[in-house]
Structure 1
Amino acid sequence: MFDKVMISAVVIGLSTSMAFAGGPIAPVLDAEPAAAPVVASAPAWTGGYIGGNVNFGKGKLKAAGDLADLLSEIGEDNGVSLGRTQAKPDGVSGALRAGYDWQMGKGVLGLGAEYNIGTYKSGLDGIFGEALEFEGGDAEVRIKNTATIFARAGYLFNDNLLAYGLVGYTRAKGEVSATIDGFSESGSDTLKGTTFGVGAEYKVNANWSAYAEYAYTDFGDISGTDGNFEAELSQVKLGANYRF
């Protein structure tokens, strides 16, 4: 009985002391620092770029319309094929390129422009080349000052590899010069046509990418020839872009 009274007195005494002292001390907890706001970054392929490429181009100057029909008729009458291609200007050249891309998920859309600083050239082929050679003359056909504006759309197979197709509008200068018996003649025309292409681009790092591309341009009928000649151009390109 005495023990119970003593224990009760001790408990009451401790409770009273704690009450006068301000009660039990609450534990102090360290507040966690506020999280920094997350700023959304632009997708990796969104932005502008400048670059260039080395390319191999091969053009064709072809007979068309009434001239193509005439050559076919002459060939049939003589049991030979005269063909339509009268020249194949080709060569290795370089081009400058710039553009801007927008990434949307796995898709990439872009606009760009390219200027070819070189010239594709060759002599005359076919019946006209043979006739000129028979007369002791020669000729040269050139495609130069090729400029293209284009739009492209692509799909990202992974963060670094983009496969794309493009469509654009191309202008170029076509020239023909011939010499026979010491006399020279030349002429030129502006070639205009639609360009289609496919390619793949790979991001080497945040700023640099490399690409391979094939492009075909149909210039259609050459003005001033009454629809008797038409031209086209195919190009294979290997290039690099600096992206910013």
Structure 2
Amino acid sequence: MNTFTYGAALALLVSTPVLAGDLVTPVMEQPVMMADQAPAPAWTGGYVGGNISYGFGSLDANDEAASFLSDEGFSDNLSEPDGVSAALRAGYDWQFGRGVFGLGAEYNFGSYDGDGEGILADSGVEVEIQDMATIFARGGYLVQDNFLAYGLLGYSKAKGEVSLDGDSLSEDLDGVTIGFGGEYMFTQNWTGYAEYSYTDFGDVDNTEGLLEADLQQIKFGVNYRF
């Protein structure tokens, strides 16, 4: 009887590791840490759109003309054309991670108008900046996947016109445009934007450097992207 008892106990001890080896140890799944993902290139593609703008410019005397007006007690400012206008815009963007680079063009088919200022006040002179066309490059950063903050650099050309008693004289204006803005993507196809730009037309053609002009614009627009 004792021999049987000892034998059974020995067999139980020998088999215990084998039984223990058959037990399935539960595996704890570790949480998967997701690395930051770059946004999908939703901004790559072409677009067409338009904007409404408020513009305010300046026509000023320069060099000898400015000195003469100053000596006579007048400001060098001759006119401040302003007003509300509208433009059409088209372009193409490329997205690289959170960066966006694009090329575009805009045509403003309205005008900004002003009366004479300073020595020209109450003279009946009217000044217009009209038919402004701009080509530009822009670069920006996606603050959010659907919001782009950007800056732009371009070249603009417009027509400046001075009228008095039914007679008018027009000259070409051209210069560098700089600006900044933000564009928000409402859907994959529709975006809205707000933008500020400044154009330095420099010297007015055929005035021997005696006149210069510039223009600032605040724009609100929409684009259809495809």
Structure 1 length-normalised TM = 0.75
By how many angstroms is 1:74 displaced? 2.1
By how many angstroms is 1:214 displaced? 0.2
| 2:157 aligned residue | 171
| 1:139 aligned residue | 125
| 1:216 aligned residue | 198
Equivalent-residue separation in structure 1 for 2:202 and 2:131 (angstroms): 17
| 1:189 aligned residue | 171
Equivalent-residue separation in structure 2 for 1:116 and 1:122 (angstroms): 17
Residue 218 of structure 1 aligns with an amino acid whose one-letter code is D
User: Which ranges of structure 1 fall in alignment gaps of 5 or more residues?
Assistant: 1-40, 76-81, 133-137
Q: Which residue among 156, 164, 188 is the counterpart of 2:142?
A: 156
Structure 1 residues 217-236: Cα deviation after superposition (integer angstroms, max 9, x where no partner):
00000011111110000000
Report the secondary structure of 2:167's partner residue.
strand
| 1:198 aligned residue | 180
Q: Which residue among 119, 122, 141 is the counterpart of 2:111?
A: 119
Structure 1 residues 186-220: Cα deviation after superposition (integer angstroms, max 9, x where no partner):
20001010000000000001100000000000000
User: Which ranges of structure 2 fall in alignment gaps of 5 or more residues?
Assistant: 1-38
Residue 175 of structure 2 aligns with an amino acid whose one-letter code is G
| 1:94 aligned residue | 86
| 2:36 aligned residue | none
| Misfit runs of 4+, over 2 Å | none
Structure 1 residues 37-90: Cα deviation after superposition (integer angstroms, max 9, x where no partner):
xxxx97100000000000001110001010011112222xxxxxx222110111
Q: Which residue among 59, 62, 69 is the counterpart of 2:60?
A: 62
Identity, % of aligned positions: 57
Equivalent-residue separation in structure 2 for 1:99 and 1:227 (angstroms): 34
Residue 53 of structure 2 aligns with an amino acid whose one-letter code is N
Larger-gyration structure (1/2): 1
Residue 126 of structure 2 aligns with an amino acid whose one-letter code is E
Residue 150 of structure 1 aligns with an amino acid whose one-letter code is F
Report the secondary structure of 1:100's partner residue.
strand
| 2:217 aligned residue | 235
Equivalent-residue separation in structure 2 for 1:67 and 1:90 (angstroms): 23
Matched, 1:108 2:100: yes
| 2:23 aligned residue | none
| 2:71 aligned residue | 73
Matched, 1:50 2:48: yes
Q: Which residue among 118, 122, 128 is the counterpart of 2:120?
A: 128
Residue 83 of structure 1 aligns with an amino acid whose one-letter code is S
